[in-house]
Amino acid sequence: MKRDPGLYDYLPYNGKRPKIRWPNDARVAFWVAPNIEFYELAPPVNPARAAWARPLPDVAGYSYRDYGNRVGFWRMYEAMERHKIRGSVSLNVAMCQHHPEIIEACSRAGWEFYSHGTYNTRYLMNMSEAQERAVIRDSIDTIRDCTGQKLDGWLAPALTYTDRTLELVAEMGLSYVCDLFHDDQPAPLKVKHGRLIALPYSLEMNDVIAYNVNLVAPRQFAEIIKRQFDYLYREGAESGTVMCIPLHPYLVGWPHRIKAFEEALAYIAGHDKVWFATGREIAKYFIDHSYEAFKAASMPVGDPK
Amino acid sequence: MSLPDGYLQYPHRHYGMDHDRYEWSILPRRKPVQWPGGARIALSVVTALEWFPLDMSNKPFAPPGAMVTSYPDLRHYTLRDYGNRVGIYRLMREFDARNIKATAAVNAAVATRYPSLMQEVRQRGWEVMAHGTDMAHLHHGGLDQAREGELIDQALAALTVSGPVRGWLSPAKGESFATPDLVRARGLEYICDWDNDDMPYAMRTDSGTLYAMPHSPDIDDFSILIRNHHSEREFTEQLIDQFDVLHDEAAKQGGRILSIALRPWIVGQPYRMAALTAALDHMLRKGGVWPATCSQILEAWKGQQ
């Protein structure tokens, strides 16, 4: 086991970093990442993690999440369309087979698809390298075949990993990952192949964390989103920042939550110096304009032994 | 079934404490102290700079902020590291703007990993307090005393590279029965692990007097925002109430200390920063505030005993 993932060097947020200039002098690159997920009723067992809290069939846990595809997605989709916010879909790619209607709706609206593994009930821990490569290959092929898009981004299924996951993702041609939470600006990662960056995704703005971990009420969630935006918008006047709202239709899509979310979205949409982008667009822009400067400014991390 | 006879024997049943570490003392009956400039409140902000290794074992207990998921828990590792990379610099900027000198309680691993962060801390005239080696090495009653001494030596060796160290805060405030003796024997003057007073007091050790300094539980960011799930607004309100009560008390009973313990990985998130600065602005507007480091406060207090 490693003490430090060894994925990034130290680049303090102390005002001396190379400046990021987003298109049209935007202060904040803002993106919304709906997690479109499929959880299996009876998945095979991974010894590192139980898929369900209760003995199978965990009807409560399964149906709670299935609500997202049957009901919640459509409500969330309408709200985003009303504010002309394109989503960047964090996709369990088996959704392409299970519920293509959702994929079609997202495609029609010009949304991006990136990979969130095959199913949210298939974890990466304990996989061999060949198995892990097969999962990534499946994502690349399925997204290309079903949406015509090249896969550029990654968020590991259920945030599960091996020590080699992000290295393989880079080697297989992806350019950004949403798995690391150490910054509010993109960060170059230390991989052997290609250029891979950590794109700020955020757990604090994630509805699962807000509602089911931090236990906030919907109106408080809207308040949190607005205050997060205010601070990053202010800082973004000096150097561009990134704000992401990761969503789960099975949570945000409930009637009692959708209005608060939409109000927060409207608040952000009411600001002029915001770049409403997708993950791929932000990643590409950063890699083209700031990657080298950020890498050069980073400092090696000392070894505490 | 019955308990042994010793269970109903009370060898320490007498006036005062059940140990010899310190004397029983009633706060409102102590001699009032005067702070420099006639301030009512010495404002002691202590920011923790912590490193949570990816492979930490969470034994003999999980410190606040420990890893949660199966290895490798990239999510929590990077969320904690956010504090040392981003959050602390937000605090520095906001404190600089308000002329607040904080005390940084630093894991030795942070000093070794991020020497430039130590320079930023020292250049500001902040004090550095030792905070153990890292969050995976806890001090506790089951720890061999020689081994505990080594941990303290390691911590001081790494932290004194950048300047002097006079105080100690154990990781997660864990101690063995010997911790105060061991840190005093190495020349440290105060310790912040004991939560039992609003003001400094003297502790006995094998090597002379060690002072206990307030480092308040329950109004820190972890307790309010993470453990209690209170809102950011309630965090502000509780800090203000704490300040206002102490401010009133100080008018009758002499100078008080407001101790605010912060973890940059918590309060340094964009949406939380304004909750802290709103409380600080209330205090500074009301006046009678002396922002000072732990050592400055201890010196002023000792001079009047």
Q: What's the CATH code of the domain at A215? A: 3.20.20.370
In a domain, residue B240? The reply is: yes
In a domain, residue B20? The reply is: no
In a domain, residue A151? The reply is: yes
Q: What is the pLDDT of residue A305?
A: 75
Q: How far apart are CA A20 and CA A241, in angstroms?
A: 8
Q: How far apart are CA A282 and CA A114, in angstroms?
A: 13
Among the partner residues A11, A161, A204, nearest to B269 by beta-carbon distance: A204
A79 Cα to chain B: minimum distance (Å):
23
Say yes or no for a CB contact (<8 Å) between B86 and A179: no
Among the partner residues A14, A48, A215, nearest to B89 by beta-carbon distance: A14
Query: How many structural domains are present in chain A?
Result: 1
In a domain, residue B150? The reply is: yes
Dump the DSSP string for B252-276.
HH--EEEEEEE-HHHHTSHHHHHHH
pLDDT (tens digit per residue) in B217-243: 999 999 999 999 999 999 999 999 999
Say yes or no for a CB contact (<8 Å) between B270 and A227: yes
Say yes or no for a CB contact (<8 Å) between B82 and A181: yes
Share of chain B above pLDDT 70, in %: 100
In a domain, residue A280? The reply is: yes
Q: What is the pLDDT of residue A201?
A: 97
Say yes or no for a CB contact (<8 Å) between B69 and A160: yes
* Domain enclosing residue A249, as ranges: 23-297
In a domain, residue B28? The reply is: no
Residue of A nearest to B134 (CA): A304
Three-point CA angle A226, A230, A231, nearest 5°: 125
Residue of B nearest to A4 (CA): B54
Q: What is the pLDDT of residue B149?
A: 98
pLDDT (tens digit per residue) in B282-298: 999 999 999 999 999 99
In a domain, residue B190? The reply is: yes
Say yes or no for a CB contact (<8 Å) between B79 and A181: yes
Residues in chain A where the model's pLDDT stays below 50: none
CB atoms within 10 A of CB A83: 14
Interface of B with A (CB under 8 A): 51, 53-55, 69-72, 74-75, 77-79, 81-82, 85-86, 89-90, 92-93, 108-109, 112-117, 120, 133-134, 158, 226, 229, 231-232, 269-274
Place of tokens 């009133």: B248
Q: What is the pLDDT of residue A232?
A: 98
pLDDT (tens digit per residue) in B67-88: 999 999 999 999 999 999 999 9
A2 Cα to chain B: minimum distance (Å):
6
Q: What is the pLDDT of residue A113?
A: 98
In a domain, residue A175? The reply is: yes
Q: Which of B81, B91, B263 to mutate to test the interface with A (most CBs of A within 10 A)?
A: B81
Q: What is the pLDDT of residue A122?
A: 98
Residue of B nearest to A236 (CA): B270
B233 Cα to chain A: minimum distance (Å):
10
CA B151 to chain centre: 18
A205 Cα to chain B: minimum distance (Å):
9
Residue B290: which CATH number? Answer: 3.20.20.370
In a domain, residue A54? The reply is: yes
Residues of A in contact with B134 (CB under 8 A): 304
Residues of A in contact with B226 (CB under 8 A): 214
Q: Is A176 helix (H, G, I), strand (E, B) or coil?
A: strand
In a domain, residue B98? The reply is: yes
Residues of B in contact with A162 (CB under 8 A): 72
Query: How many structural domains are present in chain B?
Result: 1
Show the tokens assigned to A179: 């798995």
Residue of B nearest to A15 (CA): B89
B117 Cα to chain A: minimum distance (Å):
8
CB neighbour list of residue B121: distance below 8 Å, 6 or more residues apart: B49, B104, B106, B128, B162
Residues of B in contact with A220 (CB under 8 A): 231
Residue of A nearest to B227 (CA): A214
Say yes or no for a CB contact (<8 Å) between B229 and A214: yes
B65: region left, alpha or beta (phi > 0 left; psi from -120 to 50 alpha): left
Place of tokens 């998921």: B69
In a domain, residue A9? The reply is: no
Which runs of consecutive H residues, i.e. helices, occur in B108-204? Answer: 108-113, 115-123, 145-159, 179-185
- CA-CA-CA-CA dihedral for B217, B219, B224, B225, to nearest 10: -110
In a domain, residue B291? The reply is: yes
Q: How far apart are CA A59 and CA A139, in angstroms?
A: 28
User: Residue B54: is its pLDDT beyond 90?
Assistant: yes
* Domain enclosing residue B261, as ranges: 35-302
In a domain, residue B286? The reply is: yes
Q: What is the pLDDT of residue A304?
A: 86
